[in-house]
Every structure is written in C-alpha cells, then in structure tokens.
Structure 1
Amino acid sequence: MEQIITQVVIALQERFPDGEAPPKGIPVGISNRHIHLSTTDAAILFGEGHALTKMKDLKQEGEYAAEETVTLIGPKGVLRGVRVLGPLRGKTQVEISCTDGFTLGINAPVRDSGQTQGAPGISIAGPCGALMLREGVICAARHIHMSPAEAEALRLHDQDRINIESFGPRGVIFKNVLIRVHPKFRLEMHLDVDEANAAGLKNNDPVYLYRPE
C-alpha cells in the first residue's frame, strides 16, 4: 500500500523537465447519462418489490450499473435506454450532459451530486409506470474520488477545489475540480461525455494535478 501511495504522489507532484506527462496519474472515468433512483420511484417505474439487477460493478466500491433502463421525456425530445445506477438512494437524481439537455429541451445546471434543489424536473418512464420528477436533473460537476489514504498522501481534503491538467493534442486545464474523500472511494476523476470529448480523453486515461511552471 505504501508503495502505491508513493507512486501516486510522485505521479501527481512531478513533471518531466521537457514538459511531458509523468508515467502515472489519476485515471479518468467518463460518466454517460444515467439516473439514481429512490426506492419509491423505482417501485413506480419497475413494480413494487422489484430489485435492481446488477450488470457490472463500477470502480467505486458498492456502486454498480444495473440492467434496468428508463426513458427521459423532456419538452423537446426523448432519451431512451438511460442506465439506472445502483444501489437505490433516498432521492432520485438524473445526470445528463449539456448536449443531452439540448436534446431534451432542459437547461440543467452544473451541480455537485446531491445538490438538486431548484434543478429542473423531467418525466421518467419505465416498463411498469411513469412519473414526473419535480426537480433533480443536473449536469454533474467534475470531481475526483479518493480514499483517505490517497487524500493524505496528496495533501488534499474532502471538498477541496483544485485544477487538473490533461495532455495530448487536445490537452486542457480543468478548473474547480471537487475533491470527494471517503473510505469506500477509489482514485478516479469523473467527467461527463461532453468534457471528455472536448479534451480527447477516454476511460482510464491519466490526468494530473496542475502545477503552473
């Protein structure tokens, strides 16, 4: 474990003299449109007592992509096959990209996860029913998950805001990146599809703590 932490620290704090990227970094996880459901809303959409069926585990411990999908119905358009992520939560939250918002006709604000107050609502349809979500559609703000050990090694704290740099032909500097620390978290930067495409990034590509020359 100590060796891993040391490698991460070196990767994020050092740069090669010629300006090239160091060999290790924070892996990127690209978040496509998805929905987190409350128990009550899941029952409406999939039937009372229905249990989500795990399709695959996600990198963050305990989180998974479910087999179940829903349809989002906005004022101007529809998005079908929107993946449900488990486990169920206390409150339903829909996460889309800005491009998805244009398709649906919804101006979703950029928010940290869980900050859905005042965010637009949307109609959601499942195989057993439909509902109108009064609020809860957001574009998730870019953020980094990490464990307490990783945060300590990087001298970062939960709720810190930092800048992150990517390299390559479309390299960019991502500002206002939220740090989220929890014992179940694993090091990963979450970007939505729009952000990843703009920077030319793919899943598991490395990004780095930005340190001005």
Structure 2
Amino acid sequence: MTDDEVLAEFRAAAALLEGHFILSSGRHSSNYLQCARVLMNAERAAKLAFALAQKLPRELRSEIDLVVSPAMGGIIIGHEMGRALGVDALFLERPEGEFMLRRGFAIEPGQKVLLVEDVVTTGLSSRQAMDAVRAEGGIVLAEAALVDRSAGQADLGVPFYPLVTLNFPVYEADALPEELAAIPAIKPGSRKN
C-alpha cells in the first residue's frame, strides 16, 4: 500500500482527527490518528496488517516466533500481524504502570519477537514494552507499526518498519502556537500518564 492508500483508509474510517490533542507522550498536536477506529473493521485491519507484514524483509519474517504488542492500542494490529505472519500474538498490559504479561501469556526464553504498535511518536512505550519482553527472555528482532509519527526520529534500538511515516508537528505544552492554544485540549489515547 502507498502512503496515500493508507491515509485513505484512515479517512474512510473517520480516524484522522483535527483539533487540539494531548498525545500519550504528553506532547500536543493538531492531528490525531485514532487507530482504534481504522482497526474496528476486521477486513480493513487485516488488509493493513498484511500490508505491514509485507514491509518486513522476507528473512526477518521467517525468523519471527511471536508477535507481542502493548495494550491498548497495539492489541488489534498485533493480533492481525500474528495472523498475517502465521504466528501467535499476545499483548502486554500496564495494570500498575509498567508493562507485564498477564492472562497466562508467556514468552519462552530465546523466542524471537516482533513488537507491534499502532502509532509510535517518541518510542517510549515501545522501549518499555521491549524491556518487558526481554525480562521474560524474549529476543526483540524488530518493531513494526501502522504509523510512525516521529518522522523517523524515534530511536527504538532495533530495526523499525512503519506502514506509513507522518510528520505532523508536535509541541511541548509550554510552546504551543497561538491557534492551537486557543482550542481546548483533549487526551484521546489510552495511557493516563
């Protein structure tokens, strides 16, 4: 899929929002991608996951034993990536602020993992999720995401394969442009801190 085709899927799902948003990173933006909306249609989610899986080098695809994604945003795309790659998919949760496996999920020592996210902005959640995978004995080979909002700046420490890279401006809370500061901010993401 081309970038335009991917964004057309977001627009068709009313998932490309405009306003004043506080991102999970704490930064502010006038654009927000509501991946939950684009993934609520199973056919669309499968199509996007298949396109994302095709972005991975063939040799990498053949090495992956397991897909792991952070809750909440990564659950659906992680599940669909597991299907596209023919491997199991599980997710990490943060019941008390740090990522951990629950629900009987386990990573076998030495299992080769593809971390899958919906959106990467700074890479903080990704790095924290990778730490949790490594603490369980998994080997993180790479990360894949529907959207790279970092404009290629996120340092994940592993190869990174986004379906689309966007360069929407983001701002610190004390450096908002006037037009953005004039709009009430909302925090649509799942992370509270």
Same fold (TM over 0.5): no
| Bigger fraction of residues in strand | 1
TM-score normalised according to structure 1 size? 0.26
| Bigger fraction of residues in helix | 2
